[in-house]
Amino acid sequence: MTFLANLAPEIRQYLIVTGNYWAFTLTDGALRMLVVLHFHQLGYSPLEIALLFLFYEVFGVVTNLLGGWLGARIGLNRTMNIGLGLQVAALLMLLVPATMLTVPWVMAAQALSGIAKDLNKMSAKSSVKLLVPSDAEGKLYQWVAILTGSKNALKGAGFFLGGALLTLLGFQMALLAMATVLGLVWLTSLLLLKKELGKAKNKPKFRHVFSKSAAINYLSAARMFLFGARDVWFVVALPVYLASSFGWDHWSVGGFLALWIIGYGVIQSIAPLFTGKKSGRLPGGREAFFWALGLMLIPVVIAISLRNGLYPQTLFLGGLLIFGGVFAINSSLHSYLIVSFASADGVSLDVGFYYMANAMGRLIGTLLSGYLFQLYGMGSCLWVSAVFLALAAALSLCLSRH
């Protein structure tokens, strides 16, 4: 507490927001792994386990759209604290006796967790805009990159945490431990997070949730295709492909994906080093176009190698690692641009609309991932990914005119 009190106000608030986001992200990743492993042990099929997370993704679209409007009306401190409280409630919901852990009940808990996650994320990303002086765009990019990258690295760490807690404590005690720790974080946030942070001077009407800015509309559409391009082969197709084609066991698949996400987060944190910071330039639509175009080539190369049997395992795994690194730079670049473009008064409206598009891309990619892989195999997922990335690049080129 004394350490925080001696810091500059904007640094202090940034650390509180980041700490909230980190604590939430750890529990989010751990909860997902707990649910997957626990219900796998109970004999649930992969499709039944996937259905447990359906509402988690669906409510992400709705929450981002409404959450930005809500944040502008009541303040980002309140929406962040609501998100933390809802996550504690979602964890406690799963503490019921095993006989009550039905699919509808777990889906409802995951829906609550999905709402909590997107309220927390929208609040954290929007808050950074308000904590950095308007003439310090370089610092804004750096702070957004650190917040975004650390979140993904911690989500990967959360996968490990979930497996470790399940092994050491069991399902219910693991949930209780996470709910207790996150509850303490929530109480601390209620006391320390600045009041009225992000509250718009003029209360926006509901119709204002749809952005009127051409730049934000182009960027949001590009974001939708960017994340659709990742999830169309990453969410369902990739773990099944690694297990069925390469013969990996569940722990190998889960560990590899966790390390992939951690590495992806680390690169996001240092993305400014790759996009012009050394030369003193700040990135814009032109850089977003070229990075998306470069990313598009990776699934094309992997798809050709699989079709022709050219070192399929080596090129597939190597391509996956390269894709993760280049995708991380694309994602961090987009995250900076939306915060930079957003209006300072009611910033959460623009950021919420943008992350609604992000959630829509994840939902589309998730559904296509299972459908295309089941009918046509991994190659079809990779080609659709390349098409989505071409669309993201084209939209970024339009963005460079604004």
Question: Which residue matches tokens 């600045």?
Answer: 194
Q: What angle do CA 68, 337, 24 make, to 5 degrees?
A: 50
**Domain 213-402 sits in CATH 1.20.1250.20:** yes
Residue 120's alpha-carbon distances to 23, 24, 25, 71, 117, in angstroms, are 11, 8, 9, 11, 5
Q: Hey, where are the domains in the chain?
A: 1-199, 213-402
Say if CB 204 and CB 346 are below 8 A apart.
Answer: yes
365: nearest Cα among 11, 39, 57: 57
Any idea which of 202-206, 312-316, 334-338, 350-354 has the lowest mean pLDDT? 202-206
E strand residue ranges, 36-118: none
**What would the two tokens of residue 141 be?**
């990019």
The dihedral sign for the CA sequence 283, 289, 292, 297: negative
CB-based burial, 364-374: b 16+ in 10 Å, e otherwise: bbbbbbbebbe
Which pTM was predicted? 0.75
Per residue in 109-150, pLDDT tens?
988 888 888 888 777 767 666 666 655 666 777 777 777 777
At 110, is the secondary structure helix, strand, or coil?
A: helix
**What would the two tokens of residue 378 be?**
């991994």
pLDDT on residue 88: 93
Same CATH fold assignment for domains 1-199 and 213-402 = yes
Q: Give the homologous superfamily in CATH for domain 1-199.
A: MFS general substrate transporter like domains (1.20.1250.20)
pLDDT on residue 402: 47
pLDDT on residue 343: 64
pLDDT on residue 118: 81
42-51, long-range: CB within 8 Å, 24+ apart, which pairs? Answer: 46/240, 48/103, 50/236, 50/370, 51/103, 51/107
Per residue in 191-247, pLDDT tens?
877 666 655 555 555 555 555 677 888 888 999 999 999 988 887 788 878 878 888
pLDDT on residue 17: 76
Cα–Cα distance measured from residue 235 to residue 229, given in angstroms and rounded to the nearest whole number: 11
Per residue in 272-316, pLDDT tens?
888 766 556 667 778 889 999 999 999 999 999 998 887 778 889
Q: State the Rg of the chain over Cα.
A: 20
